Structure 1
Amino acid sequence: MGSGTDTGAYAYEQKVAVEAAEEAGALLSARFAKAHTVGSKGDGGDVVTDLDLAAEEVILARLRTHFPHERIVSEEAGLLEADGSRTWLVDPLDGSNNVAIGLTAYAVGIALCVDGSPVVGVVHEPVTGRTWRAALGQGAWCGTTRLGGPRAQLPRCGPVLAWTQGHSVSRSDVRAQALRGALELHSRRVLQLWAPLLGWTMLASGTIDGYLGYRAEAVDFPGGALLATEAGVEFRSLSGGPFRVGFDGPDSGRSFVAARGEALAHLVDLASAATGGTPAAE
């Protein structure tokens, strides 16, 4: 894996997660051109491909081999129940809608949560072969490079931001419309990637300035958010209050602003104004 997180707490768990993500990524890359849709989820048009299922099988096999008595929540398989406080979160193909139309913007995500909070986060991008990883209190890394997160200063031409929303958010959701509209008006660019984990790698690497999420998905959010947190990113609720990163609870508890310094204040102001500035709006 390189330096930084090869030893210390959760080193073994991180090693297994990296190996599983990279094995699944190799499968996705090899079969990308022949991917086909096998189903859909929700009413918003989100799809499931044969590659989702194949990559998931690879990852679950590794996790069950190394951690046979631990709970797993996977994007397609759902909850694989077990006792204890540890839960693995698996997104075998983040960006299924992109893959279905031949767009090479996708990733593999694996996270470990203890008592609902992330302690390991791994994101692998098959297209470039890069893997980002973080363990609680040990920084965020890509290869041997420790990630420093985004700059604290607000760019004069406006920030570049990423946006994510959960599958259950409808096109007619007025709060989502207000948030996206405010971002478009007051930012240089807003990335809507259909692959939220890629946004987290960019934020942790400092190539974008902030991230705003509305009712984010439980499976891919915690691992990506840990990468950002370990790179120095701060989180707030849409009204500017404290925010806890986790996967449990309703999706209304996963609406957030993530940035640092002036950019964080700028995003909180935009989000608060767009949602009326009240916790109920979150």
Structure 2
Amino acid sequence: MTPYAPELRFARAFAAEAVAVVRRIRADGFDVATKADHTLVTTADHEVNRQFIEQVVARFPGDGVLGEEASRLTGGPRTWVIDPIDGTQQFVLGIPVFMVSVALVVDGRPVIGVAANPSTGETYWAEAGAGAYLDGARLRVSRRDGTTVPVIVSGGGAQPVSPNGLDADALLRVHTAPAVSSTAQRYPWPTVFSGCKVAEGSWDADLFGHTTAHDVAAVCVLVREAGGTVTDRSGADQRYDRPVDGCILSNGLVHEHLVRHWRPARACPAPPGRDGVSGG
């Protein structure tokens, strides 16, 4: 048995339950509100987040929970991280790329990651040291390095600028050879969906330009266990139980190029308090 086998079983079982909840709420109708940061939140986001906290408290009472909509932080070494729906805007619009995302972070490092797509029924999962899988099939990152054909890079942040500056909120086709120009088009790809595409080898990298750990904790494990590389904006390791300094997820072959050319990291806000319950 692998070190975190019980936790992986729990995370996969919860993801399956969450998929059923999201499908039911979408079929029955849901409320939509706008949060202070101008992002959307729905009945489904709140319900999945609430059920996850309840189940973690019942199964792993000493563990904390860091969620997008609500948290229960304990100050201990183990923190579950949940994004109840990554891609709420896509959920509202019916674009089938929104995902339920769950991770277990131990001493700041993600060791379990599960991401499930309610629209397709696909479930990705990974455990540190045990590989990454899509519905039982082993995942491997791509081997494209951008020297002869452009690599596919998603994301980049919320402030679109020059595609060659690697900071467009878009799907980029990037050449690592400096003589070849890059192109970009805007697509509605949420971070978890994009990270899964990197892990399965369909895309080559994802650039995450924000500070929210719940967006990247699960796919961090998936990409690493599929043979890829994950760092902050500057190419360094970081914790995923507190705000992050962006995130670069790649096949490893293009990672240094992306670190070198992406816009310098912005200052990361101070970590939140380590106890109590907070809304997200």
TM range (shorter): 0.7 to 0.9
**Contact 2:154-2:172 at 8 Å conserved across structures:** no
Structure 1 residue 9, shift from structure 2 partner: 0.7
Structural mapping, 1:5-16, within 5 Å: 7-16=1-10
CA distance change for structure 1 residues 126 and 184 in 2, over 3 Å: closer, same or farther?
closer
**CA distance in structure 2 between the aligned counterparts of 1:103 and 1:178, rounded to whole angstroms:** 28
Mapping of 1:138-217 within 5 angstroms?
138-154=130-146, 156-163=148-155, 165=157, 171=159, 178-181=165-168, 184=172, 186=174, 187=182, 192-217=187-212
State which of 4, 12, 33 in structure 2 corresponds to 1:18: 12
CA shift in 2, pair 1:54/1:218, >3 Å = same
CA RMSD in angstroms, aligned pairs only: 2.9
Shift of 1:34: 4.2
Distance in 2, matches of 1:76 and 1:132, equals 22
TM-score by length of 2: 0.81
Partner of 1:225 in structure 2? 220
2:66 is matched with which residue: 61, 70, 73?
73
Counterpart of 1:4 in structure 2 is none
Residues 92 and 109, structure 1, Cα contact 8 Å, conserved in 2: yes
For structure 2, which runs of at least 5 residues remain unmatched after alignment? 175-181, 269-280
Structure showing the higher helix proportion among its residues: 1
Count of aligned positions: 260
Contact 1:193–1:199 (8 Å) recurs in 2: no
Normalized against structure 1, the TM-score is what?
0.80
Q: C-alpha distance in 2, partners of 1:281/1:84?
A: 26
Match runs of 1:21-170 below 5 Å:
21-43=15-37, 45-77=38-70, 79-154=71-146, 156-163=148-155, 165=157
Instruction: Give, in whole Å, the separation in 1 of the partners of 2:47 and 2:19.
Output: 11
Question: Secondary structure at 2:192's aligned position in 1?
Answer: helix
Deviations 1:199-218, CA, capped at 9 Å, x for gaps: 11111100101111212421
- CA distance in 2 between counterparts of 1:106 and 1:118 reads 21
For the 8 Å contact 2:22–2:118, the answer to whether it is kept is yes
Relative to structure 1, is the Cα distance of residues 179 and 41 closer, same or farther in structure 2, using a 3 angstrom cutoff? farther
Structure 1: tracts of 5 or more residues without a match = 1-6
2:277 aligns with: none
